[in-house]
Structure 1
């Protein structure tokens, strides 16, 4: 339930009461004795779904918008009349005015926003370098990225240019700050005792996850955008949804910063693509869901104008996401190819170990060097095979070529195969 309190200017009391009667809500009038410009305060308890029609009725009746209308959440209302009111006003979404106010509150002051974002990025960067998923998720609780993402979309839908511009600015500037913070931390840590000599960021699983994104990453961003709007318009679970949005943005941005610090262009491009796709997808779904939820500018004359702006933004976002998805699709295909070659090689080596034609030879996969860049550069996978040879066992002169041909047939691609023969003795 909500409690709407209207500070009524001199001469407008009848207008307010008539609007309340037309809306079909109960009210109480308190006389104002402060000798100010208000003659009374009208208190109106209503369900959340009745706030917007009540405020729209006041506006249409010519009520002065320079006066005060305060909407507060009522924790408990003890009255059977409240149930009857709730039955007449169905719906679960909050009013346009509450939506705008909550979106503005979720986008904190710039100083607070950047301090929290830098702290969150620092923790997330440490989690990436330590390969600690728990640390990364903990950092996301601090990240304040949900507010700007939703504020930008709310500003567009309700025709608040200032709110929309502020949301866009905080998102872009925040991600730039996150990348710069991670790059600085990475630059300071390189070559120190905190990281092993020759530390390679591309071998860390948590980082590798962000530099080999695939099209499934879109589901996290799209789902986060939908969940963010639902939590905002229904006032549920905003903290947990904020974590989901932050997970989609901060760790990839921190990975971009580490790629800058280590001088890895591939890391910067792949993780950067993931950041942009997630950012655009969250904004796209937020815009669409807000509009489908029925939110419009309070001035009817502005609806067509706002719809045109929203349509153009949706088109731009869809095109940008489609272009970036080509990169994600390429990464998905390349990652699949590298994994498929490694799987086929391993499977064939196991079959060769069981093949009587090779006697007692045991084949082991030492390593397969085949990265994403090799797929598109046309480089052959380099496979190193360890062969355990029992004492007295010999292999044919064309043994290496035979092994290579079998592996190439299994993998369906030309390989460069190196074979390491090891004489083994096993105790009884």
Structure 2
């Protein structure tokens, strides 16, 4: 279930209440007259089944409530109520299959910001992966993959492409490309520093690395894994299952490939630099492609279901 808290201008409250009441899958409607001060108005609260949430939020935005008041949505982990159970049974589809496009846009927007924190996490993950590459330590590689925040911009690109939002595409691309450029430059400097300290040597780059050598040998399986990871990662975002996203983070060779490219470049090993760069681009491209196709399929399937069983009933004389 989702919990909605709305601030509504007093002259629109009846209209909003009528909308909530005719939405299949709603429960626990509460109205506080004149309770809001900034912006001034009434406070309307209700719970709605996740599978009916996107259409209700869209209808509220069509009424301009996001401009004249506010719309706040919270995920509810536990609701003990017979009315809530009846609302979920009445709502079309399954909550796990529903996509809240507004929530997805907000999440990917936040995760696609080129910020100091984002770059710091990506740089630290790349440096950690560089240590794993040089030591041929798979544990360090997995740890670096889990730390890397790059799935946020990748999901942002997919979401923006589906929603035809060029500004978000540009923002996500800047975070992705700019983040990796800075992280790889810092990692190259990190490698030079450790080489000066005698902790890294050129022999460590050219030596046989049975645990991490695959990082700079891209093949079609790398692309297949990226496709599968992109599908799983997108589904984890749309279904709010963060545990699955952790599995995605440690299944694709993005951060390790960037680290290997940076370290190899610092020792002028161009074949490894090129191979690692191809691996990185193949993984990034596969994730974006799979994420975009997954969102498109979800949008089509959910649109067909909503046309069959609309979540919002049309009031007499009100066009849809």
TM bucket (normalised to shorter chain) is 0.7 to 0.9
1:189-236 deviation line (CA, Å, top 9, x unaligned): 336532468444352334421222221111221111111100000011
Q: Does 1:218 align with 2:223?
A: yes
Partner of 2:133: 128
The answer (yes or no) to whether the contact 1:117–1:174 under 8 Å persists in 2 is yes
CA distance in 2, matches of 1:225, 1:197: 35
Partner of 1:70: 72
Partner of 1:46: 48
Q: Determine which of 232, 254, 262 is the counterpart of 2:259.
A: 254
The answer (yes or no) to whether the contact 2:122–2:183 under 8 Å persists in 1 is yes
1:41-120 to 2 correspondences below 5 Å: 41-60=43-62, 62-66=63-67, 67-89=69-91, 90-91=93-94, 92=96, 93-107=98-112, 110-120=115-125
1:309-328 to 2 correspondences below 5 Å: none
Instruction: Tell me by how many angstroms 1:181 deviates.
Output: 2.6
Structure 1 segments unaligned to the other structure (5+ residues): 297-428
TM-score normalized with structure 2 length? 0.84
Partner of 2:308: none
The answer (yes or no) to whether the contact 1:23–1:57 under 8 Å persists in 2 is no
CA distance in 2, matches of 1:174, 1:36: 38
- Describe the shift of the 1:124–1:200 C-alpha distance in structure 2 as closer, same or farther (beyond 3 A): closer
Instruction: Tell me by how many angstroms 1:185 deviates.
Output: 2.4
Partner of 1:2: 2
* Residue aligned with 1:205, SS: coil
Instruction: Tell me by how many angstroms 1:35 deviates.
Output: 4.9
Q: Does 1:291 align with 2:293?
A: no
Structure 2 segments unaligned to the other structure (5+ residues): 302-320
CA distance in 1, matches of 2:61, 2:132: 52
| Segment of structure 1 superposing worse, 35-44 or 212-221 | 35-44
Instruction: Tell me by how many angstroms 1:243 deviates.
Output: 2.0
Computing the radius of gyration from Cα coordinates, the structure with the larger value is 1
- The count of residues paired between Structure 1 and Structure 2 equals 295
CA distance in 2, matches of 1:176, 1:170: 10
TM-score normalized with structure 1 length? 0.64
Partner of 1:160: 165
CA distance in 2, matches of 1:135, 1:239: 19
Q: CA RMSD in A?
A: 2.3
Q: Determine which of 142, 156, 171 is the counterpart of 1:137.
A: 142
CA distance in 2, matches of 1:34, 1:191: 63
Q: Does 1:30 align with 2:32?
A: yes
CA distance in 2, matches of 1:9, 1:131: 63
Q: Does 1:240 align with 2:246?
A: yes
CA distance in 1, matches of 2:16, 2:85: 23
CA distance in 1, matches of 2:127, 2:169: 28
CA distance in 1, matches of 2:125, 2:235: 25
